[in-house]
Chains A and B, each alone.
Chain A
């Protein structure tokens, strides 16, 4: 019976209107919709969704609780494994995780697990005042957390709950890491969601210090030796934007997606009340196919430009979430697939006028399992544009590794850490993008929580 109900559609802002504003695209479910969608869950004996979740959320359990009307219980079930449901419900790639494994998806549509999680998370934030959160009495041990992104927040909140005195050091002037500088407002509201999640962490007694760049203002060693911290968790995130190394890449008008998004998100460049400028031009080409590329191209569109995605593989291989690609198309983004830039073209004054591209075709699968793109001979063509945004991923930021004696890094420059978050240095732990390279919010959050457990064990053993 249950699976006869079609997946409950989620209400969204009209594409033509939302392509001109920064309000959230998806309105999410209300209680009625969420419960109706919850009724579709088959409550499988061997829930494949749980196994497909990077942090093993007890999905059928919280869905059942919601279905029975116990929203608070549903929220506590999620809290056992995740500290950021409102965020993960919005930004997780559900189609390749929980929803991708849902048995209903074989013949029809999977349960909208992400939207249900989001509903429960938002409900919890809205009702957070009803439950008084008081800091756990201190156990006298101090832990420093580097970075206030998903891994840092998750690690800090668990440790605080167990009685550790935690200080989070943030390099920027705003808390949240990639949640504030990277992911745009229209996908993840900053005040309504991110700031509230952070204030929940603050209520646990976690202290935050902004404008502190670990590796410059202080070092991991000075935190341990001079400031009296017993352990340090490094959750410093991804790092330096990659460029292609093609001709014309330093012309005026070529920016990294990180720069473009930081100007728009962190610095509010789209709001005239803020001082930071952003150069948008008339026609923007975004190179790349991941979530960051989608965020950049949709931001450019919202700022009034004609916006195009250029990606070297085919649509099937786009690493972005399916929902983002779908939303981008609805908003009128042009997709040029199997296209790769070979040079950025400019005028005499050094400003971008276009890009020269080649057509690609797909060959044999490479080590990532995706079919590797091969250049079609003689297929060069030019695309007019005045801004080029490179969304090609990042390489690790060297600031911490290069200033911390004995901290091992991988060949690629990422900090080496075990599954449990232990680095090569005693008392120093790490997790999230700083270890794995650019990945997802949920993986970073999971790594932060695992490291918190490891830190707890380490400090208890030391006693």
Chain B
């Protein structure tokens, strides 16, 4: 179970992993996520599904190595197994429940930022399969950090690329590209943005000006991911919601992004500490005054 079937380095510290998980693949829909654990002492890490193949019984995830746990997952090789791969979790994207005829009348713009580009892909792919053409903007720091461009090229009607330094596509932020597209006369009925919290916040601020309905996928902290712990609570329209069972997608114009960003950092110090301890241990340093406890 949960054997790694394929592993690719997409960009610096960003890996793609295709995992054998027939039950998850069978049930998965766009917008959902999985909880992954590398080994018996590992943390439960929520990761948005980047692709799934029902016939093959596989699910693809894209991970950026940030702390000890994501690093551990990325160190596993093809043929090795993840300890746990549970899902699909969360509610699927709203559009999967809507009549196809309605969807076909609608103009969508998807925005993917950094590693968040990966979970945009199954949504665009699903819509394409239903005959719904959508535009996509991908943003990254630079050319080397761009991911999923070829895959997206295949499923998007128009693909626009932006980089902070202009090394690929146009120079600037995804929000500038969006405003440019709207100014050029493109009409959109709905926007879906997935990426760093700060990007989603600014997309929300931008689209609000145009009263453009916008959905974001929140990557809140989670422990169990099934509604038990409440670590993932976010404020949406002034009400506390659980990202894992009521999300992960919410109306961007109602999300309290500042609180969500702050809450994401709750364990940052502890995680950085754990990473530093691990690094020292790897380098053969053994703390003799117990600071690694």
Question: Hey, which bits of chain A sit against chain B, CB under 8 A?
Answer: 171-173, 181, 210-213, 216-218, 239-241, 243, 245, 249-250, 252-253, 255-256, 258-259, 262-263, 266-268, 272-279, 349-350, 397-399
Chain B residues with CB under 8 Å of A241's CB are 228-230
B59 to chain A, nearest CB (A): 11
Interface segment, B112-120, B179-187, B190-198, B258-266? B258-266
Give the nearest-CB partner of B262 in chain A. Answer: A350
Instruction: Select B86's contact among A171, A252, A275, A279, beta carbons within 8 Å.
Output: A171
Bound-complex Cα distance A5 to B266 (A): 55
A296 to chain B, nearest CB (A): 13
Residue pair A249, B23 in contact (C-beta under 8 Å): no
Residue pair B245, A399 in contact (C-beta under 8 Å): yes
B240 located at the interface, meaning its Cβ lies under 8 Å from any Cβ of chain A in the complex: yes
Residue pair A213, B86 in contact (C-beta under 8 Å): yes
Residue pair B229, A250 in contact (C-beta under 8 Å): no
Which residues 61-115 of B sit at the A interface, judged by CB distance below 8 A? 68-69, 72, 83-89
Residue pair A181, B228 in contact (C-beta under 8 Å): yes
Once A272-B292, A277-B270 are accepted as A-B contacts, the answer to whether A267 and B228 lie under 8 Å apart by CB is no
Q: How many A-B residue pairs have CB under 8 A?
A: 120
Bound-complex Cα distance A265 to B43 (A): 13
Residue pair A239, B228 in contact (C-beta under 8 Å): yes
B237 located at the interface, meaning its Cβ lies under 8 Å from any Cβ of chain A in the complex: no
Residue pair A256, B245 in contact (C-beta under 8 Å): no
Give the nearest-CB partner of B42 in chain A. Answer: A275
Residue pair B233, A250 in contact (C-beta under 8 Å): yes
Residue pair A350, B223 in contact (C-beta under 8 Å): no
Chain A residues with CB under 8 Å of B27's CB are 216-218
Chain A residues with CB under 8 Å of B23's CB are 212, 217-218
Residue pair A213, B89 in contact (C-beta under 8 Å): yes
Residue pair B229, A268 in contact (C-beta under 8 Å): no
Give the nearest-CB partner of B293 in chain A. Answer: A272
Residue pair A217, B83 in contact (C-beta under 8 Å): no
Chain B residues with CB under 8 Å of A252's CB are 262-263, 265-266
A390 to chain B, nearest CB (A): 8
B209 to chain A, nearest CB (A): 27
Bound-complex Cα distance A172 to B227 (A): 12
**Would you list 23 pairs from A and B whose C-beta atoms are within 8 A, ordered by A residue?**
A173-B44, A173-B84, A173-B86, A181-B224, A181-B228, A216-B27, A216-B87, A217-B23, A240-B227, A240-B228, A241-B229, A243-B233, A250-B235, A252-B265, A253-B266, A267-B44, A273-B41, A274-B41, A275-B69, A275-B72, A277-B271, A279-B267, A399-B226
Most A CB contacts (10 A, CB to CB) among B27, B42, B227, B235 go to: B227
Most B CB contacts (10 A, CB to CB) among A213, A249, A278, A397 go to: A213
Residue pair A211, B86 in contact (C-beta under 8 Å): yes
Chain A residues with CB under 8 Å of B84's CB are 173, 210-211
Most B CB contacts (10 A, CB to CB) among A216, A218, A245 go to: A216
Residue pair B223, A267 in contact (C-beta under 8 Å): yes
Chain B residues with CB under 8 Å of A273's CB are 41
Chain A residues with CB under 8 Å of B226's CB are 171-172, 213, 216, 397, 399
Chain A residues with CB under 8 Å of B262's CB are 252, 349-350
For the complex of A and B, 7 pairs with smallest distance between CB atoms:
A259-B229, A277-B270, A211-B86, A256-B230, A275-B43, A241-B230, A173-B84
